Structure 1
């Protein structure tokens, strides 16, 4: 369990006295926030909140632990800032990129980061949750992650909506013609997506969007784009992808009919990262869209 992340949930709910407002503040939906607090209470062995129809209020244990939680969060942020200062001395920019963007986008972002800063770029490809954690603790300077997501102590940069297309098995009935695919025709086929733990809020938003478009697809977990492509190739799932280079034997690519289903990403960064770098990365994302 990521204790610092769950302590962030605790502090937000204690300060807002309302799950809905706390969820909005954290940039997530209410169910995973409630589940996270239950896990934290189980880990600590005590109830942190009294829950009622009018909202929530800290229990005696919650009131006692709240300042300690705030102190732990601030200490972790201070540790990250100190580590970041040492990294600056080494003249290396540590760039994180969510795996779903693919190798071409990762390379483009690295080139743009190097041009904007004059630094050697050390790239990391990982999940959204892992990258936000890394930016928050100072082991990554700037990252592109799925949106929405809980940012913890990472600073929020621009959100960029990337166009997506559908990847289907060549034998899928919806792949018979060359034209755009109506999402409701994929009803009954699973959607290949990263496990929910990789980016909970973005995962939930995708499934809610598909449901609203008449395609209540169950998720087929794929820990990497390569795994997702294998699921598509065997007909086990379809995939909405923002990576124009993702392809494989037995897989066809089709545009989405009607309203687009963009893959939203956000540039997040630690304190001290120049605005020019953040803007350059956002521009690189838009240029690749």
Structure 2
């Protein structure tokens, strides 16, 4: 097109102003080309086609890593390349529906129109509180002890049905806390360590300054998950591998 994108000098090669402006777009095109190639391989049934899976932010890193390993080894005839996406349940459902993802682990309940899904699976969650809070040292902590603390939870837009049930569960037990948005597991723990905030996590009790894990309401607080995939898609190996990992994690 007659536009110079790079210039050469005695010092080497550099981008022109036009080149710098086009660089972000060029990176997107390269990324899109890679996704196009992966999709073509998947449709053609190529042996090197990756499994593109997604997982909700709420699932702990230890379980996510086990899921990746299980997907990698799901096909006994070969090692499968695994591409992982972490996103909100709403985003994951839409990505599976449009074909951007093959399979995903999402929170239950969620609107799953047009998708197939497995049974509801439960992963244990703990309440996390500031280490100097009375609930942290109580022999048997009670919900009422959390009064005065702010509840940190994911945005309602992540998955409105599950978010509403979570907040209503606390209210049904006499706790109506102020709710602030937590952007993820790390942000939750940072807020709790700073004081005045509590939340729930699937991460097992871990020595951590400023944070204590409290065991209460096991059944009510369990993270409920489902494995979803496009209707009619042949994803038995992948869905089965994820199901086994989540079943073991929930015991």
Measured against the shorter chain, the TM-score band is 0.7 to 0.9
CA deviation digits over 1:40-75, x for unaligned, max 9?
A: xxxxxxxxxxxxxxxxxxxxxxxxxxxxxxxxxxxx
Structure 1 position 260, deviation (Å) = 4.1
Structure 2 Cα separation of the partners of residues 104 and 245 of structure 1: 13
| Contact map agreement 1:181 1:257 (CA 8 A) in 2 | no
Structure 2 Cα separation of the partners of residues 123 and 93 of structure 1: 8
Within 5 Å, give how 1:171-210 maps onto structure 2: 171-177=132-138, 179-210=139-170
- Answer yes or no: is 1:232 the counterpart of 2:199: no
SS at match of 1:240: strand
- Which residue matches 1:98? 56
Name whichever structure is richer in helix by fraction.
Answer: 1
Taking structure 2 as the reference length, the TM-score comes to 0.75
- Which residue matches 2:70? 112
| Contact map agreement 2:89 2:106 (CA 8 A) in 1 | yes
- Answer yes or no: is 1:132 the counterpart of 2:90: no
Cα gap change, 1:176 to 1:266, in 2 (>3 Å):
same
Structure 2 Cα separation of the partners of residues 87 and 188 of structure 1: 58
From the CA coordinates, give the structure whose radius of gyration is larger: 2
CA deviation digits over 1:85-144, x for unaligned, max 9?
A: 548545100011111112111110111112213421111111111111111110111111
Within 5 Å, give how 1:161-172 maps onto structure 2: 161-172=122-133
- Answer yes or no: is 1:241 the counterpart of 2:201: yes
CA deviation digits over 1:207-241, x for unaligned, max 9?
A: 11111122222321011111111111112321111
| Contact map agreement 2:205 2:213 (CA 8 A) in 1 | no
The number of aligned residues is 207
Structure 2 Cα separation of the partners of residues 249 and 138 of structure 1: 43
| Contact map agreement 2:124 2:222 (CA 8 A) in 1 | yes
Q: Which has the higher contact order (CA 8 A, sep 6+)?
A: 2
Structure 1 Cα separation of the partners of residues 119 and 184 of structure 2: 25
SS at match of 2:163: helix
Structure 1 position 152, deviation (Å) = 3.4
Structure 1 position 247, deviation (Å) = 6.3
Q: 1:213 aligns with which of 173, 188, 192?
A: 173
SS at match of 1:232: helix
| Contact map agreement 1:100 1:243 (CA 8 A) in 2 | no
Two-structure CA RMSD over aligned residues (Å): 2.2
Structure 1 position 267, deviation (Å) = 0.6
Structure 2 Cα separation of the partners of residues 141 and 258 of structure 1: 31
SS at match of 1:166: strand
Taking structure 1 as the reference length, the TM-score comes to 0.66
Q: 1:141 aligns with which of 97, 102, 121?
A: 102
| Contact map agreement 1:141 1:273 (CA 8 A) in 2 | no
Structure 2 Cα separation of the partners of residues 215 and 225 of structure 1: 22
Structure 1 position 280, deviation (Å) = 2.3
